[in-house]
Each structure stands twice: as C-alpha cells, then as structure tokens.
Amino acid sequence: MYKALIFLMLILNFAFAANAQMDIYDSGGILMPEQAAYDVKFYELTLEVSPDQKVLKAFSEWKRKWCSRCIGWCLIWILLLTINGIWNMRLTGKREIAAYHRQVGKIWIDLKKTYQPGDKVAVEIAYGGKPRPAPQAPWDGGFSWAKTPSGAHWIATSCQGEGADIWWPCKDHVSDEPDSMALHIRVPDPLVVASNGSLGNIEKHNNNTSTYHWFISNPINIYNVALNIAPYRVIEDKMDCVTGEQYPVVFYVLPEDYEKGQKLFPEILDHLRFFEKFCGPYPFRADKYGVAQTPHLGMEHQSIIAYGANFNNASMTGKDWGFDALHQHELAHEWWGNLVTNSDWRDMWLHEGFGSYMQPLYVEQTQGKAVYRQYMQSMRGFSNRLAVAPRVSKTSDEIYQAPIYDKGAWVLHTLRYVMGDVAFFRALRRMAYPDPAMERITDGRQTRFATTDDFLSICETESGLNLDWFFEVYLRQSQLPKLYSKIENGKLNLRWESPVKDMPFLMPVEIEIGNKRQRIQIPAEGVTIPIGKIDKPIIDPDGWLLFEIGK
C-alpha cells in the first residue's frame, strides 16, 4: 500500500510537470482524474476587501460529493494568493487540519480516506493577499482597481478566460457549477457591493465598514461570480414576466451617472421583453436581474451584468445601431451561457455566437428586415482559420481564437434560411428550454449543460430536415463552401464545392431573374438554368448564405 501511495504521488508530480508549461491564466481543457472525481455542490465565500491596500482577506468553504472512487486526494485551484490554512470537515462535524501540496496554481488536499461515489465532504480554506490586477479587463482579467469621477474607489472582477481561481479557491472548470453559493463581502463605507443572486441583509460594523450578504439560489458558472464595488446609487423596478409573475430589475449606477442610468433603464426593460418573447422567461427571476456599472467594458455575470459601455450605443460595435448593443449582448448570455452552458469550451459558440445573433435579431424587430441585413453584413469580416465548434476539448484561450462570435451568428442566420422562420424560432426557444414545462421552473432545474449536437438534434426535430451536412460544414471544420457560377450560351451554371468531401452539401440557393425568384437545389454535379440574353441573375439576393465565391 505504501508503494502504491508513493506511485500516486509520482503520478501527481508528473501530471504537474506535464502541464507546467501551460498558461496558468487559462481555464478549462481536459479534466485531471483528481478534478473529475468530485462535484462541488455549494461554495460559501467570506471576503474583506481593503481598497486602499488592494488586499483581500478571505475564508472559503466547499461542500462537495464524490462522483467516482477517490483514494483521498482532491485537486483545487488558486493562483498567487497565500493559503493560510485548509481544514477538512468530517461528516461528524469535526474540524481537522488538512495537509496539502501546492504546485503553482494547483493544490492537492489530503483527505485521509477513500471516498465512494455519493459520499459528501466539506473543506474550508483561509487565504488572502493581493489578487492579480486585471491587465486589460475583461479580456485579460483579474481585479480592476479604479476610481469614479469623484475619486471614490471603483472595483470590479472579471475572470472568464483566466478562471475564478484568479481570486478565490475553486474547481476551475466550466463543467462544474455549484447548485448555490453564499457571499459575505465586507467593504469600507460608503461603498456598496453589487453581486450575484439576491441581497439578504447589510450588516453594519462599528469600524465604518459593512458586510453585504448575497445568496445565489441557482447553479452558476463560477467565472460569473462577480464583485462590483462603488458608492452606487440604485435604480429599480419590477418586470412582468411572460409566465405571469414579477421579478426585480436593479441597476447599480455611479452617482455621477444617475440621470443617464434613469434614461437607459426603460431600454433595459425593453431588452428583457425581447428576450422573453424569443427565448422564453428570464431564467434567474428567483434572484433578480441586475446591472452594475463597471470600469471595464462588460461581462455576462449571472444576475449582475457588468455594464461599462459608458451609455454609448456604439461602445461594442463601433456604430450606433439605435440601441445599447453592449447591454443587449451581455443580457443575451443570461440565456446563452448562464441558462444553457457549454460543458467544454469547444462549444463556446453556444454562448457567443447565439449571444451575437441576438443583436441583429433585435434590430430586425425594432427597425425592420433591411437594417437586419445591414447588421449581418457588418459581421462578415471574420477569419475561417479555425473551426467554430471542434470536437476536441479546448481551453478558453484556444476557443477564443476561433470566430465564435461573428461566424457563429452567421451560422444561425444561414440556418434560419434553411429551416424557415417557424421551425428556426421554435428551435431557438427549445434550445433555451427543451421542455415548455421548464419555463415555469425557477429553483435551478431549468439550467443545464448543452453541446452543439444537442442543438443539431433540436433543429432536426423542429424542422424535419437532416442537418448533419450543415453542422459538419459550418461548425466542425473551418473552411467555407464555395459556390461556382458562370453564365455561358444563355445559361447560368451553378455548382457547390464543399470542404467536407464525404457527404453531400444540400444548401438550396435562391436566384432572382428579372422580377422572379426561385429556390434551387443544386446536385453534386451542378445545375444549368436557362436565362434570357439581357437577364442579370442575382444569386442569394437577400444575403442569407455563408459561402465563398469560387474562382
């Protein structure tokens, strides 16, 4: 048995050595066995923030259950910050000091016994220090230590790519969401803490500090756990949900921008109505819908969206399309990312592609089809170097090098053309809520992990079409199909060339000749269409198709 344990330690050390060259500020990838063995059910984070010193003093508790047999080691992540102690809480309630082994951002904790599937255990961790300042939030995240125009402290966290372990100990992988979480955040007065979930009480202390007690009642992607700290003023109202009940909508805004916040607030409510129409009810109405003004551009933190657009409609898009695109995009992630979550970063287009498509769709609803087409064309400059939804596991850094935003949106745009509006919008809603009964659930069971293949299955069910060829070409590999067209001897010759050679490419093409349109299915060998001498056929006149022109 002793030799077996020595061998295990060698395996652990070798596993670290093999991964030592990976960027520690990168999240996701293939889970190690010591990570995959357990499922975190609950986190409780007690944290004191000292803005003047930019220091954290913290205490974290985990409650987890084992998914598979584990000989007594578990692996967690925490970067840079100092560990002051780790304790194992036995089921008897006995608190024992736990030995641990730390290698850069990974900590192996010795739990001293073999745990079986279904066993439960709690671990407490005391830690503190100076968290990583965000080099360029939110793209390169950490803590943003900023000042408001009046000179007050203005603090925000962002850690999607880097992982939540950049500021608190956790199982840093997108596949593991706790069922719930409690946060107790202490800050100097008059600072206000805006965080996820619902606010319980504000505890005043005799040293001019206050503790804000937040509770997240639904499962949450841990990179979405966020602190937003400033001398906020609050704008709030109730939203009438499509399911009949009401939920709170809260906007935490800087005092200097209070009037701007009041002007934006009706649009926030309008955005919520739009999403409830197409994607179903707001998923986290058991807690709230919150928006917090931040010193960085924005992030989709569940129930407390980070808003840093500075009330500029063009802050994200570079063009004013008549609405606050940054807020609309981050709100989209409450459905595409927070309600429906990829279990591996390889399917991140389900977050970003779906989220990006919601902006042109909103334009179509508010300004018409012509502006919708203009918006889609503005998203057409992406690279096709990498697949949008590869089949192999990816880290956050890897998948964000693929065109998951704009090409992802274009895939949905073209898919809508193939399926037709009725089937497409049914599939969109069923992707959010596979069973209509789920639309009335608010206790967390409405959330789920999903894959690209799940969306394929829903689309085929709703349309009655075989869509393997579509997903294979547009999502599983990088290159676009080519459409060859040639006018010769009074005939229009059309032929598809697909980058996937082992299956037919069944994309129909709409052609306008004179004032008539026809939708043509092009066989593998191509098709020939007679035209008049003065006819100038227009291929894909409404710009639905995602392809390159063959030369």
DSSP string, 388-447: SS-SS--BHHHHTTS-TTHHHHHHHHHHHHHH-HHHHHHHHHHHH-SSGGGGG--SSTT-
The pLDDT, as a whole number, for residue 2 is: 25
How does DSSP classify residue 256? Answer: G
**Residue in 384, 385, 399 with CA at minimum distance from that of residue 343:** 399
Q: How far does Cα 151 stand from its chain's mean position?
A: 32
Kind of pairing, strands 198-204 and 233-240? unpaired
Count the Cβ atoms, other than its own, within 10 Å of residue 232. 24
Position 72 scores a pLDDT of 58
CA angle 48, 54, 57 (to 5 degrees): 30
pLDDT at 89: 77
385 beta partners:
none
Name 35's Cβ contacts closer than 8 Å, sequence gap at least 6.
Answer: 75, 171, 173
Position 550 scores a pLDDT of 92
CATH class of the domain at 32-332: mainly beta
CB 126 within 8 A of CB 135: no
Structure tokens at 291: 């928006």
Q: What is the distance between the alpha carbons of residues 490 and 530, in angstroms, rounded to a whole number?
A: 6
CA nearest to 183, candidates 225, 245, 223, 139: 225
Overall CATH class of domain 340-476? mainly alpha
Q: What is the chain's pLDDT, residue by residue, as a tens digit (551 residues)? A: 222 222 222 222 222 323 333 457 778 888 888 888 888 999 999 999 999 999 998 878 777 666 665 545 677 777 768 888 888 876 556 788 888 888 878 888 888 878 888 888 888 999 999 999 999 999 999 999 999 999 999 999 999 989 999 999 998 888 889 999 999 999 999 999 999 999 999 999 999 999 999 999 999 999 999 999 999 999 999 999 999 999 999 999 999 999 999 999 999 999 999 999 999 999 999 999 999 999 999 999 999 999 999 999 999 999 999 999 999 999 999 999 999 999 999 999 999 999 999 999 999 999 999 999 999 999 999 999 999 999 999 999 999 999 999 999 999 999 999 999 999 999 999 999 999 999 999 999 999 999 999 999 999 999 999 999 999 999 999 999 999 999 998 899 999 999 999 899 999 999 999 889 999 999 999 999 998 888 899 999 999 999 999 98
What distance separates the 2 farthest-apart alpha carbons in the chain? 91
Nearest to 77 by CA among 205, 163, 206: 163
Pairing of strands 38-50, 180-188: parallel
Per-residue buried b or exposed e for 35-74, using 16+ beta carbons within 10 Å of the residue's own CB: bbbbbbbebbbbbbbebeeeebebbbbbbbebeeebeebb
Asked if 473 and 498 touch (Cβ cutoff 8 Å), the reply is: yes
Give the Cα separation of 340 and 419 in Å (integer). 22
Which of helix, strand or coil describes residue 22? coil
- Contact status, residue 187 vs residue 268, Cβ threshold 8 Å: no
Range 315-318, long-range pairs (CB < 8 A, 24+ positions) = 317/359, 317/378
- Residue 263 gets which letter from DSSP? H
Could you give phi then psi for residue 462, rounded to 5 degrees? Answer: -75, -30
Axis-axis angle for helices 452-463, 349-367 (nearest 10) = 40
Write the CB contacts of 60 (distance below 8 Å, at least 6 apart in sequence): 43, 44, 45, 46, 124, 125, 126, 127, 168, 169
The whole-angstrom separation of Cα 367 and Cα 322 is 9
CA angle 226, 227, 231 (to 5 degrees): 145
Q: Please state, in angstroms and rounded to a whole number, the distance separating the CA atoms of residues 480 and 382.
A: 11
Distances (CA, A) of 4 to 1, 7, 9, 10, 71: 5, 5, 9, 10, 11
State residue 142 phi and psi, 5-degree precision: 145, -145
Signed CA dihedral, 282, 284, 286, 291: sign only: negative
What is the spatial distance between Cα 360 and Cα 478, in angstroms, rounded to a whole number?
Answer: 23
Q: What pLDDT is attached to residue 115?
A: 80
* CA geometry: angle 65, 450, 474, nearest 5 deg: 150
Please, what sign has the CA dihedral across residues 105, 110, 115, 118? negative
Nearest to 84 by CA among 63, 56, 62: 56
Q: Provide the sign of the torsion angle of the four alpha carbons 402, 405, 406, 412, taken in this order.
A: positive
Task: Find the helix packing angle between 406-419 and 369-378, rounded to 10°.
Answer: 140
Tokens standing for 168?
A: 């608190």
pLDDT at 113: 79
